[in-house]
Amino acid sequence: MALRLITAGESHGPGLTCVVEGLPAGLELDPEALNRDMARRQLGHGRGGRMKIERDRAEVTAGVRHGRTLGGPIAMRIDNRDFANWEERMNPWPVEAEVDEVHLPRPGHADLVGTWKYAFTDVRDVLERASARETAARVAGGAIARAFLRALGVEVRSHVVQIGTIHVPDRSGALTVADFDGVDDDPVRCLDPGASREMVEHINVQRKANESLGGVFEVIAFGLTPGLGSHVSWEERLDGRLALAICSIQAVKGCALGDGFDLAERPGSGAHDEIFHSEERGFFRETNRSGGLEGGMTTGEPLLVRGAMKPLPTLTQPLRSVDLVTREPAQALRERTDSCTVPAAGVVGEAMVAHVLAGAYRQKFGGDSIDDVRQAVRAYEERIGWQRR
């Protein structure tokens, strides 16, 4: 059974729409948890003025009755409060006012190539959909996937490990779910207080210099059943699906699974996770260099995924560009912008990882009701002798 996530909407249009199709009936949903995730996407030191306008809430319009899923598609709408300021420029229907076109593409954005591809003359026809505002709808869909995973004992968390040149020191020992208590209270969603202070200062310095900053976020999934995904064909390998999901997030240019690129410089003896067995624990590993994935399948260890995000292309001091109509040199379009959104990107990463994992559970275990899914998962785990960590 396939799990689908579809989003629609433009950055300054009337609103965003999310449709999730393929979840079982009987799954309990909590509107407060849903909207808590929506608010988390707006967190982080370095956000711009729009976060003072938008107070995102997802309104469920289909697929749920009295707090339980019905088995059909779930539809949600997120209003764009800023649309009131853009009604003439972004109205779905013709308006009487003369609306100026935008002809100044930004380096690093979809602007120029999008106008070529779709035969547009107005950059706004591209940038509105390409905007990371679209991720609000993804987070709404991811919150539904997280509720499904939570019903199966799986928790998904994220934190920031790098902003610009500031890195979190290497950790000693593995993180647990409890370690993430309060991560959203940190200004950059970082688990290391010292690194957090340096990151905030780095953002402040670069913002005054009219610069934007990228960084790296890490998503961890706890409590996964072994054997999600498959080795038998390339499109069923879970690591490939996760890389697609992470790299589909706006401005993300790299994805690492487990120790990722660091594995390339190690000898084999320092790159893999040896296998042990005891009567008390069953099969287990003492390391997790693979990030909970081997041969395209989950191993039962925590799943570790990192996304590397480039600096945002909309700068307060615009880069050089060329006017699409006159072909003359010009400064790129300047819109209201953030100086750093890595903390928010981690929340979007959670949503995308949750969607991929929920889809893997649906594909492997099926089930028309959530009770059917739970029963199938338990039967499989008993068959392989898996002891939940």
Assign 3-class secondary structure to 259-271. Answer: CHHHHHHCCHHHC
Quickly state the pLDDT bin for 153 (edges 50, 70, 90).
very high
pLDDT at 52 over 60: no
What rounded mean pLDDT belongs to the chain?
Answer: 94
Once rounded to an integer, what is the mean pLDDT over residues 344-350? 97
Cα(389)–Cα(384) distance, integer angstroms: 14
Q: Is the pLDDT of residue 32 over 60?
A: yes
Query: How far apart (Å, rounded) are the C-alpha atoms in residues 213 and 203?
Result: 7
Looking at 21-30, 162-171, 249-258, which range is the least confident one?
Answer: 162-171
Residue 119 has pLDDT above 80, yes or no: yes
pLDDT classification of 317: cutoffs 50, 70, 90: confident
Domain extents for the chain?
4-384
- Give the tens place of pLDDT for each residue, 209-246: 999 999 999 999 999 999 999 999 999 999 999 999 99
- pLDDT above 90 as % of the chain: 89
Output the CA torsion sign for 167, 350, 226, 306: negative
Q: What totals of helices (H) and strands (E) does the chain contain, helices first?
A: 10, 17
Tokens representing 220 are 């961890």
Mean pLDDT along residues 108-116: 97
Q: Can you name the CATH fold of 4-384? A: Chorismate synthase, AroC fold (3.60.150)
Residue 343 near residue 195 (C-beta atoms within 8 A) = no
Indicate whether 252 pLDDT > 90.
Answer: yes
Whether the per-residue pLDDT at 173 is higher than 80: the answer is no
**pLDDT confidence tier of residue 1, bands split at 50, 70 and 90:** confident
How far apart CA 200 and CA 188 sit, in angstroms, is 7
What confidence tens digit (pLDDT) does each residue in 305-314 have?
999 999 998 8
Q: Per-residue pLDDT for 47 more than 90?
A: no
Res. 332: pLDDT tops 90 = yes
- Surface-to-core class of residue 331, CB atoms within 10 Å of its CB (0-12 exposed, 13-18 middle, 19+ buried): middle
Tell me the backbone φ, ψ of residue 234, rounded to 5 degrees: -60, -35
Average pLDDT over residues 177-186: 95
Confidence at residue 83, expressed as pLDDT on a 0 to 100 scale: 94
Say what the pLDDT of residue 369 is.
Answer: 98
Does the pLDDT at position 50 exceed 70?
no
Cα–Cα distance, 354 to 366 (Å, whole number): 17
| pLDDT of amino acid 387 | 83
pLDDT of residue 21: 98
> 135-148 burial, b if ≥16 CB within 10 A, otherwise e?
bbbbbbbbbbbbbb
Whether the predicted pLDDT of 363 surpasses 90:
yes
Residue 316 clears pLDDT 90, i.e. is over it: no
| The model's pTM | 0.95
Q: Where are the beta strands (DSSP E) in the chain?
A: 4-9, 15-21, 59-62, 64-65, 68-69, 74-79, 155-163, 166-167, 215-222, 252-257, 275-278, 282-285, 293-294, 297-298, 303-309, 320-322, 329-331
pLDDT mean over 88-98: 95
> What pLDDT does residue 46 have?
76
Whole-number Cα distances in Å, 178 to 150, 156, 157, 231: 15, 12, 10, 32
Please tell me the distance from the alpha carbon of residue 180 to that of residue 67, in angstroms, as a whole number.
27
